[in-house]
Amino acid sequence: MLILGIETSCDETSLALLEDKGGKFTLQKNLIFSQTITHAKYGGVVPEVAARAHMEKIAMMLEEALYSPIKSGNDKKKRLRPDVIAVTAGPGLATALLVGVETARTLAYLWKKPVVAVNHLAGHIYANWLPVSHPEIVSRNLKIRAFVRDDIKFPALCLIISGGHTELVIMKKHLKYKLIGQTRDDAVGECFDKVGKILKLPYPGGPEVAKHAAKGNPAAIKFPRPMIDSHDFDFSFSGLKTAVLYHFKKIPKSSQKNQKIIADICASFQQACIDVIITKTIAAAKKHKVKTILLGGGVAANSELQKQLKAAIANNLQKTKYTALPIEYCGDNAAMIAAAGYFHARKKQFIPWKKLNADPNWDLT
């Protein structure tokens, strides 16, 4: 089964080809065009600008994705024809989602191929099933052959952390999700970005905060750990962001660009976030007796979080499996959408192309 994945939920245009042979995946293509530079001058993602950029890129990327690097007998490149189309239908920016959805509808009609609507958050979860066998994972021509991910056992706890979401989800089997915790205000990735703005760091703020944090002292400033002692698995990051703002305002303007001060603020803020996330994750894993902990979303690329989470699991949950998600699969990409699409296709969970629509507020559960 050859699956075409399409992802346009925010500011990355991505197309992927994922092949399944007897439960083993081969990632043939995973093309990603990032709009970071485009949105930098606005200080954030502008939905209309994102949609226009998707429209400008998706046709050319589709052409590149569908042509095999292996030449046929007449010395012409072979055009691949997927068996299934998997597209992100939500959640996300409405105008951005529509570009991918309309592309999928058109291809499904022209090719007479089945289409699967994939929830973007499910994609982040199923990134954990993608093949990992080569450091150059995102490549235009490299085929990546997979081992079978039979090390992922259910029930699994999925920690989804991104710019728009912070959720803890229980999976008892494929495609069955139960939300047990979520943010009550800002997502952790959104909080990182806003702290970056407060500190006047370049766009996007989140990765800049993490970069400066690596040079700072995480114990320099005692920021609050919101809801760390609550008896549920919900999160709150708005108050932490405000605490950073008030702390920064107290610093004399002449010192607000001091790199040591900035690094200490970033490191202390980041550690506060990590402490809350790990505490909630470990508690949820213990209560629900999970066999595997999975990580997904853009913030999952934070190396300090991955390192501390791995250590916490090793110390507290010796029988629980955890494998760090490669950075290439943390951000938005179509390979993860194709992977989720495979499990839907295996259950024949297709949708008629005429009924395929974007749902910007589509809940995972």
Name the binding residues for Fe cation. 120, 124, 332
Nearest to 96 by CA among 26, 176, 38: 38
Cα gap 168→157, rounded to integer Å: 7
Q: Which residues, other chains included, contact 268 with Cβ-Cβ below 8 Å and sequence gap of 6+?
A: 216, 217, 218, 219, 220, 221, 222, 223
Please state the residue numbers annotated as binding site.
Answer: 120, 124, 160-164, 193, 206, 302, 332
Cα gap 342→248, rounded to integer Å: 48
Cα gap 155→172, rounded to integer Å: 4
Phi, psi of 258 (to 5 degrees): -65, 120
Where are the alpha helices (H) located in the chain, listed in sequence order?
36-40, 47-66, 94-111, 120-126, 188-198, 205-213, 238-250, 259-288, 303-316, 334-346
Q: Which residues, other chains included, contact 365 with Cβ-Cβ below 8 Å and sequence gap of 6+?
A: 169, 177, 178, 179
Question: Residue 33 corresponds to which tokens in the numbers above?
Answer: 């065009």
Burial of 35 (0-12, 13-18, 19+ CB in 10 A): buried
Please state the residue numbers annotated as binding site for substrate.
Answer: 160-164, 193, 206, 302
Phi, psi of 324 (to 5 degrees): -60, 140
